Amino acid sequence: MLLSQLIKGENAALYGKDVEIDEIYSHSKKKVKNGLFFCLNGRRLKGDDFVEEAEKFGAAAIVSEAPVKTSLPLVVVPNVRAAYSAFAANFYKNPEKELKITGVVGTNGKTSVTYVLRAILTKAGKKVGVIGTEGSKLGDNDYGGNLTTPDPEDLFRVLREMADDGATHVAMEVSAHAIYYEKVCPITFETLVFTNCTEDHLDFFSDLREYSAVKKSIFLTGKSKNYVINTDDETGLEIANALYGRGAVGVYTYGIYKPSDVFAAMIREEKTGTKFVVNYFDELLDVDTKLLGVFNVYNQLAAITCAKLLGAESDDVVSALSSIKPVAGRMEFVSSFNGADIFVDYAHTPDGLEKSLIFLRKVTSGNLVLVFGCGGDRDAKKRPLMGKTAGDIADFVVLTSDNPRYEDPLAIIRETETGLREATLDYITIVDRRAAIEYAVKELKAGDALLIAGKGAETYQEIMGVKHDFDDKKVVSEIIDNNA
């Protein structure tokens, strides 16, 4: 595509000759042919400083917010992050305009909402892609990905491939980082969902107020036809009131405890599933699902509301929810051992861990045992909070490593332990995650429940930049087989 065509209609000025562009990218060390390099500024580094390196590896043109020293054609834009997204959409011929896209925003529940929505819409005869923490998928097609919301050069490529492969709808996770970096700004969503806002990512955002404000901001851009908001959540209620105050149409609320358009009642939680009644604008739906916990009732309410807005019939909803399997690594039953039940969950925030433990506390007759750790190079402020949450609810805690990344695992454990000690002395620290899981499994007795939290469906453990094979579920299976 010619550079002039790629930037046509955008707020951009081209200096130099028109050239053919075969690739768009932002990593200066990437070897490309006829690439359009975006000078993205980070919090410490300036993208303009990498122009020379990009030239060396095949850049054909540069995009920057100011004139830079280069012999290549230069495109100057007022906002290079927004341009990165807009030009990526244009480069891939605007697939976002061919798809009905639902974006899911929130600290917890994003993956589950997208997967439940996919199940319902598939039952309704739609062809649905999902994009998020577990990658980008459409049926048996796996488009890869390792970010909750891919960078624009990957996001719009995936959307193009999904559209070309016959997708009609896409359910995608929209992270706070993606909103901050304007990754999705070209998309007008069919529906935007808000699940909740609790403490996370305060290594990046200055405080919870900024984190919350970033999440709220996407709902106030006017770039969605419908809004599905959890108004049991304080931030959700603020979003709904802000939308009402602006006279927005298509605002739909859901919840359990506060008045809302769509709500659940008569909730019965069991170890094997959940039953509840949904009131969807006075239409009653009886739901019997294998998804566990009240937090999954919220996720299903969000997905039900979206699906109905997208044309699904009530029979599709009830049928899909009755047959859906738990999302991998999201409060997933793994196995039984010595009469105790073992679960794996992705809970990696204080709120997520609390909700998972509270559910298991309700349905466990014996002791509730927890194995967990906190990730390295991430929000350190939440470590003692998670420790205290663990100690407040679990009967016994095995504190271990998660993904330490470039941090010292023992240092992470010590920070987490400060909160844990405030609540209980019934714990042990075992740095090696496999040894920690094995210790917990061998201590189980009939009626107990074991929750292994933090990594969910991840198949690796990241240590000093290396991702080692590690799957909590496989480790459990191996331990049980060796002790049968």
Would residue 86 count as lying in a domain?
no
Q: Is 25 helix (H, G, I), strand (E, B) or coil?
A: strand
Which residue among 290, 305, 323 closes a domain?
323
Q: Which residue has the higher pLDDT, 327 or 369?
A: 369
Choose the final residue of a domain: 303, 323, 343: 323
The rounded distance, in Å, linking the Cα atoms of 225 and 323 is: 30
Are 399 and 419 in the same domain?
A: yes
Torsion angle of the four alpha carbons 172, 260, 318, 159, in this order, in degrees rounded to the nearest 10 = -10
Residues 27, 110: one domain? no
Q: Specify the pLDDT at position 301.
A: 98
Q: Are residues 258 and 191 in the same domain?
A: yes
SS3 category, 10:
coil
**Is residue 52 scored above 90 in pLDDT?**
yes
Running DSSP on this structure, what letter comes out for residue 272? Answer: S
CATH number at residue 70: 3.40.1390.10
Per-residue pLDDT at 204: 87
Provide the percentage of residues in the chain whose pLDDT is more than 90.
96
Which SS3 state, helix, strand or coil, does residue 469 take? strand
| Residue 23 structural domain | 3-79
What pLDDT, on the 0 to 100 scale, is given for residue 359?
Answer: 97
Residue 222 falls within a domain, yes or no? yes
Name the domain boundary from 79, 110, 126.
79
Q: Are residues 341 and 311 in the same domain?
A: no
pLDDT mean over 116-126: 98
Averaged pLDDT, 239-256: 97
Same domain, 231 and 148: yes
**Do residues 347 and 226 both lie within one domain?**
no
Q: Are residues 126 and 68 in the same domain?
A: no
Note whether residue 420 is domain-resident. Answer: yes
Q: Which pLDDT tens digit goes with each residue over 286-307?
A: 999 999 999 999 999 999 999 9
CATH of the domain at 270: 3.40.1190.10
pTM above 0.85, yes or no: yes
User: What total number of domains does the chain contain?
Assistant: 3
pLDDT tens digit string along 174-201? 999 999 999 999 999 999 999 999 988 8
For the segment 423-481, what is each residue's pLDDT rounded down to a tens digit?
A: 999 999 999 999 999 999 999 999 999 999 999 999 999 999 999 999 999 999 999 99
3-class secondary structure, 366: coil
What does residue 49 show for φ and ψ, rounded to 5 degrees? -70, -10
Contact 150, 131 (CB under 8 A): yes
pLDDT mean across residues, the chain: 97
Residues 234 and 344 in one domain: no
Matching residue, tokens 């007022």: 78
Looking at the structure, tell me whether residues 229 and 253 fall in a common domain.
Answer: yes
Domain annotation covers residue 231: yes
Residue 90 lies in a domain: no
pLDDT in tens, 295-351: 999 999 999 999 999 999 999 999 999 999 999 999 999 999 999 999 999 999 999
* pLDDT confidence tier of residue 42, bands split at 50, 70 and 90: confident
The predicted model gives 242-266 an average pLDDT of 97
Same domain, 256 and 143: yes
Answer yes or no: do 69 and 135 share one domain. no
pLDDT tens across 186-239, in order?
A: 999 999 999 999 988 888 888 999 999 999 999 999 999 999 999 999 999 999
Residue 62 in any domain: the answer is yes
- Mark whether 419 and 341 lie in a shared domain: yes
